[in-house]
Every structure is written in structure tokens, then in C-alpha cells.
Structure 1
């Protein structure tokens, strides 16, 4: 969350738009819309993050850094920044004073349900003013909204993509009781742009999976989506070693087996943990050291996950699963697939792209192994880029705001006589035809799993049977969602 006046958290040019609008306007309506897709196999986008944006920015930031701050401090800072940078000393003083005196944010926000995946070109969020003097506020929050939400939504889509792969293979190879949401985890935090970006990205991934290495993702979900990790499965972390641990112990002991035995019998005798295993010679550890520790591993009150961290992930994790079967054995599940002894599992901690995930699961299935013999981690690469492949080459599609062409555009206004004014843009130079906006107010309709919309409506006409429902009005929440509700919305009740 920001730590300054949110009316300074925007593009410079928006600070002067109030004076540029027709002065007779009393109402403005804008829509947040994924306008296109750059991913060949994706024609929907998950709506997620609005509730957090409202809570952190429109409620807490406005309250702490605007409405409860003496106005002379607010305007002094506002004028100092703008006059020193774009020479607009005094611009906005009257309207900011009027807003400060009002004491609340006179906006209404309507949206499709959090977790819903809506079709491209269908508006997900509607923003309008509730007081005729604050038309300018509607698009003033665009910049904050856009930069806060797009990556969160992309990460929700990334998690959803992996969950569909898991669902496909688990349906064929795993017992029905296997928790699919525990088969993959997020390992992306250190490779994200910032703590804030990592937190929201992991929280979005956790709409589809329960495992994350990003501790603050749980706190963010608790703060914004009515959940409590002490009372329900928000997300889970894991105990694990790292190279500094393995290498420092090797330097002291002169071998690896001493430390592994201590981990099993003294440090974590009653807890599952993963162990990075390639600091020196991965296959030596698997082939020679683990058999020497078989008794300790089978007596261990938990699961030891053998983690590869270099080499080809597909080969390393599948070959490890096969070798663990040879050493420790296991059982055959109800669908006829081998399941390792519960004391061991193979893990690859990151570098798992959707393609590698499918390859790993495909190899396991073809060789008669259930996919829950391995645990896979998704790193920052997959949270920020989709690797695509055809018969000839690989290509990469970095995720940006323009992956789904997300934008907020004004489409409707009214004057003092409540006369409807249809607003739209349709650039002739836009050969891709994705910058064309809606026209007028919109009514979003759900048909089965798909969403469509009708535009060209007046404000009054768009009120009935509209999937865009009021979630925020005049500084307060009207409707909120729990984490469980968001997960069930995203996965059709099958999280």
C-alpha cells in the first residue's frame, strides 16, 4: 500500500483533467476491460484483486493520507509537488477542499464476482461518481487500479493454467482423495519485481494451489479476503534446506550423510521436509547415500522430499521418482498406478513451465506412476512469461498489462439535466481493433460458463439483470468475498 496522498498516485496528466472535462457534466461512467488476448489458448481472464485494491487504496490509503490529514497539510504537499514539476500551482485546490470536506470517496464500483473468468472484451469493473461535483474522480483512480491489478490477474491465470494440467493427469492417475491443490507450489518471490508484486502474485496463484514459499501472501489474503490461516487452509509453506545449509555442514563433516541423518533423527524427527540434494553430486546422493539411510528414512515420522535444483527438471524429477521406488517401494492405487512409500517423494523446486509440467506428468503416467509421486515448484519465470513451442522453435510471451489489453475507458456521462451522453473511442489507425471502447453503459450477462455484454445503454437501462454488482459505494464496502468463495468461483465449486 502507498504511504502518501493517493491523489498523487497517478499519472501527471490526470491531475489536470478536472478542468478539461465539459463543465456541465454531473456523471461519468468508466469500464475496466480486458480488451484482447495475446495468448492463443486463452480467451478468458480471471477477475481478482479488486477487493484488495478497494481495501488498501480506496479505503485505508484515502482515510490515512487524505481525509484524516488536516487539509492545509494535504494541499501544501499537493501544490509543492505539482508546482515544482508541471507548474500547476493552485490547480485543484477547490475541488480537493470540497472532497476533503465531504469526508468520503463519492464513487460507486460495480464488478463481476471475484474469481469469475470473463470472456475477452467483456467489462469486469464499472466505476461511476455518486456526487455531481466529482466527475473527475472516476478516471483519477484508473492508474492505481490498472497497475495494482493486472499482474495479480495474470498470476491468477497462471495458477489456473497449471491447475487444469494437474486436474487432467490427477483424474487419470491419482486416487480421488489426493488433494490436487497441494501438487504444485509457488517459488517465485525472489525473482519478482518487488515484495508487493511477489505478495500479490503468490496470493493469486494460491487461488488454485495451497503451497507457497511466499509468507506475506498469506497475510495479504487474510487482510483482504476474510480468511485465517490458523482456522482454514489459506496456504502452506514447507520446511526445507538450502545450499548454505548443505555446504556448511559438508565443510564441517566432510560428507553429506552425517547431516542428512541429523536432519532425520534430531532436527525434524516428526516433520516432513525437503532437502536440496545437488550441492555436489545429486545422483550419488540418490543412488548411494539414500540406501544407507533407508532405516532412518522409513522410521522418520514424516516425508523426506529429495529436491533437484539443476539439470533438466523433466529428467531429474522423473528419474528420481523411479529410483525412489526401486529403493523404498510403495503401493498401487485404485487406478492401477504406483505410489511411492509415504516417507519419500521427488521434488523439483522451480523451473517448471507448463510444458515441463505436462512432460513430467506424461512420463509418469506412461510408466505407470501416479503424478502425486512428485511435487513441482513454479518460479518467477512462469509468473512473468509464457513459453510457447511449435514444431520448429520456442518463443516467449512476457506477461504485461497488454497481455490482455487491460484498460479503463470512459463510455458514458450525463449533464445537469440528466441527459445521457454516449462516449466512445474507435481509432481508425487501430488496425487490430482492440482499442475500440464500449459505448454508453454496459449490461453484463452470464450464459453458462460464458459472459457477454450489451452496450449503448443509459444508466437507468443498465441497472437490471446486470452481473456487474455494487461492491463499493461512498467509501464503504457493499459486498465482499471470502477466499473460499473466490476459489470456488474460479474452479466451479471444485477447488
Structure 2
């Protein structure tokens, strides 16, 4: 592959859908501004955790367009069968230094917002580039992915927190490492691993997705957003041979089991129940206790609800447990992590089973892979980016769609912003007056506040969030 071929993949003008190239010719004559918005039109969850726009903007809108990009795009679309707005893109390069003349406003990242509310607005800032917000839809709407991952992770956190609050003496200290990201190998690309892995880290500290940690560093300035521990995989156990399974486990103890440490050992390469009863519970029991470490046993097959319950019971027989202040049993020296078949439903079912059996949620951690980072689509939360207003002949007109065959796709109309009720945290999408960028303070009723801020304007960041900001906001659920 030549260098020239690779450059196409980095060309901002080509990061769009093919049909977008013709849309500058399709708006009404004398259009000189357009206004778009992003919302979740419902879906699996009734609230979304807004996250990832800052990363999308920095990754995809920060680099200025050049005349070389325009040349390349012109030649591509000519061969591809689409018209190309050569004059419009040359104007952006010559007049704006290649920086895109749009304004992006959004709710603060980490905000937990009910569905059916505007989360982002995008508008043109130069009358000659009224067509640009639509052109950017493809790249901007990709924020559905980090929002949906952050939302899935956040709701899983609420489930786990419920069981910890009921059964743990210290639920606040327990929660950060209760759901570990195992998804890096199950996603479609390294970019997805970065965006999705980072989105999970809004809610938890445990991850094996290195790309997510690096993305949080690159886009949100967080030096170390997530942590991991030494852990075995099947190859490091089965390479010892079945007759030496216990030696593989002992090797893990000798290398990694130190006072106060955690070490995770997959133990179902052959027979998880035999491994717990004989290897961990008898042969290695004294070594585990003497090490001062906590050994985290990992089953990896079978029915998650049944297998986890039986593993916890067998470990209790082998190592014993104490009854905590809330009347639930906490295992001595050992824990269980379930990473197979884990999704929001199975997390709830597993926790319901073991807590009903009298065991604290302290005893468990979860690893979620495909269900966290890949088993979702834009339709999981029904994300859409739509035009809601256009200025034609100097007058703003409302723009919307209202398909008779699907009222769920009825879109909002007019220029808009989002307001938040300070005391209750209620949100409300409202129309903007005239050409106002934000709602004038005098127009906001008492007790309410503007919930959107300008985050990006004319190719430059205006407001950035730290990862700590995002986490604090998501944890507060506001």
C-alpha cells in the first residue's frame, strides 16, 4: 500500500457518507445557516451518560483542512460518482485556515440525562458554509458509541451498588473494581477499544483494555484512568498439562501472591469444582493463607448463575467465611470473578442468587467484554442527529420530520437548548429566541439554568472537561 493511499484515511473531507457530497446543492436557494441537534430517542435505558464528544472532536475536527485534502477529495468524488463542493472547501481553507466554521454546544460530559432531550447542538457560523453541519453528521454522530458504553456501564454500576448497599459493610470502597473491562479483543477496531474502554472508565477503575486508558490520557488528560492485576489465562495453565494443574496454580502464587495483593487465576480449564475442592481447598490452602494475598478464582464456562453460586459455596467450605455487620457471609482469603456470559441481566441474576443464599456481594467481581463494548448499536439508545432549523432569505424556519409510519422518529423543531432544574435535576429542551446562542439569563424562569455550554467553535476547543470532572458528574447522577 502506498503512502498516498493511506492519506485518504486521514483526510477530514472524506470522513463522511458518500451522499453528503451532494447535499450543498439540495438546500433551498438563499439558505445561509443551518442548525442540528443530537438526541437519544429512547432505547434500552431511560437515561444516558453523556460522554465522548471531547474525544470525537479532538480526534476528527482538530486537524485543519488543506488544499491537498481538497485536491484528493475532489479526485475521489469525481471517480466515485458524486459532485463535490470544491469552491466551498477552498473557501474554508483560504478564509478560515482550514478550520471548520461550526459551533458545537453540549451538556457537560458525565451528565446523566433522560432520553428525548437535546444533548448536542451544531450550527454553522459562516453564511457561506451553511451546508457544513450536515456534512459533519457522519463523524459527530459516532459519539453514540462512547455514550452508549458509558450508559451501559453506569446502569450496571447502579445494579451492583444496590446489592453492595444491601450486603456490604463498605459499599463505597468496593464498587470501583466490581466491573472489569474485558472487551478489547472483542471490538471492531483499536479506535473502538479506546473510545469504549475509556467510556467504561467513567464509572469503574478496573480494566484490561489498555487503549481505553491511553485514550483517557490523550483526550481528557487523565494520567492513569484504570488499573489491572496479574491474572492467568488458559494457556498459562494448560501448558503445564492436566497432571500438573496444581503446579500451574502454585506458580501463580509464588510469583504474584504477596501480602495485600490480588491475583486472579482461571480455574476451569478442566474441572472448576475439582480445582476448588482439591487444588485450592486442600493442596494449596495453607499456601494461599500464608501468602497474605487474596486469590480470585475465575470460572469461565457453564451457566453463570449456577456456576458462580456453587463456586462461592465450595470456597466457603474450603476457606470459611465471616458474617459481616449486615448479616451476610464474606469469604476468607478468596474471591470469585465471573467473566464469561456477563451482561447487565446476568450481573443482576448472579447477585440475586448469591445474596439470597446469604453471601455478600463483596465476594464477587465481574468482567464484561463483548456485551460492554460491542454488543450494542446506534439503535440501542436510538441516537439521531437531525436538522431542526434553517435560515432562508434571512429568516429562521423550523425544520422537522414527522413520518406517518413511525411516530418514534418525530424530530424536534427550531433552534434549541437544554435547561436544567437546579433542585430536582429535571431537564427540558426549549426553543432559543432569535439568533441567541444560549438562553439569555433573563429568559430563564427561577430555579432553572442553562444546561449546555459551547465546547467547540471554528475549529478550536472552547471548554474542556477533565476525566475527574466527568467521573464526579456521572457518580452524582446529575
User: TM-score, normalized by length of structure 1?
Assistant: 0.87
Partners of 1:220 and 1:316 in 2: CA distance? 35
Instruction: Select 2:283's aligned residue among 282, 285, 292.
Output: 292
Instruction: Select 2:109's aligned residue among 88, 105, 114.
Output: 114
Shift in CA distance, 436/462, structure 1 to aligned 2, threshold 3 Å: farther
Matched, 1:53 2:56: yes
Q: Which residue of 2 aligns with 1:124?
A: 119
Q: How does 1:476-495 map to 2 (within 5 A)?
A: 476-492=460-476
Q: Is the 8 A contact 2:109 2:465 kept in 1?
A: yes
Unpaired segments of 5 or more residues in structure 1? 386-398
Instruction: Select 2:188's aligned residue among 166, 190, 193.
Output: 193
Partners of 1:165 and 1:151 in 2: CA distance? 21
Partners of 2:50 and 2:313 in 1: CA distance? 40
Unpaired segments of 5 or more residues in structure 2? 1-6, 442-449
Instruction: Select 2:264's aligned residue among 264, 274, 277.
Output: 274
Deviations 1:186-226 (A, max 9, x none): 21222222222232222212222211121110001111112
Q: Which residue of 2 aligns with 1:151?
A: 145
Partners of 1:405 and 1:257 in 2: CA distance? 49
Q: Which residue of 2 aligns with 1:219?
A: 214
Q: How does 1:89-100 map to 2 (within 5 A)?
A: 91-100=84-93
Q: Which residue of 1 aligns with 2:400?
A: 424
Deviations 1:218-277 (A, max 9, x none): 001111112111xxxx111221111111111126xx321222222212455464221111
Deviations 1:288-341 (A, max 9, x none): 111111111012242211110111111222221222222222333222222122
Instruction: Select 1:355's aligned residue among 345, 352, 369.
Output: 345
SS of the equivalent of 2:222 reads: coil
Partners of 1:193 and 1:275 in 2: CA distance? 27
Matched, 1:339 2:330: yes
Instruction: Select 2:12's aligned residue among 6, 23, 39.
Output: 6
Q: Which residue of 2 aligns with 1:369?
A: 359
Partners of 1:123 and 1:25 in 2: CA distance? 24
Partners of 1:247 and 1:407 in 2: CA distance? 48
Residue 3 of structure 1 and its aligned partner are, at CA, apart by 4.0
Q: Is the 8 A contact 2:18 2:82 kept in 1?
A: no
Partners of 2:415 and 2:249 in 1: CA distance? 64
Moved more, 472-481 or 196-205: 196-205
User: TM-score, normalized by length of structure 2?
Assistant: 0.90
Partners of 2:309 and 2:86 in 1: CA distance? 65
Please provide the CA RMSD for this pair: 2.2
SS of the equivalent of 1:401 reads: coil
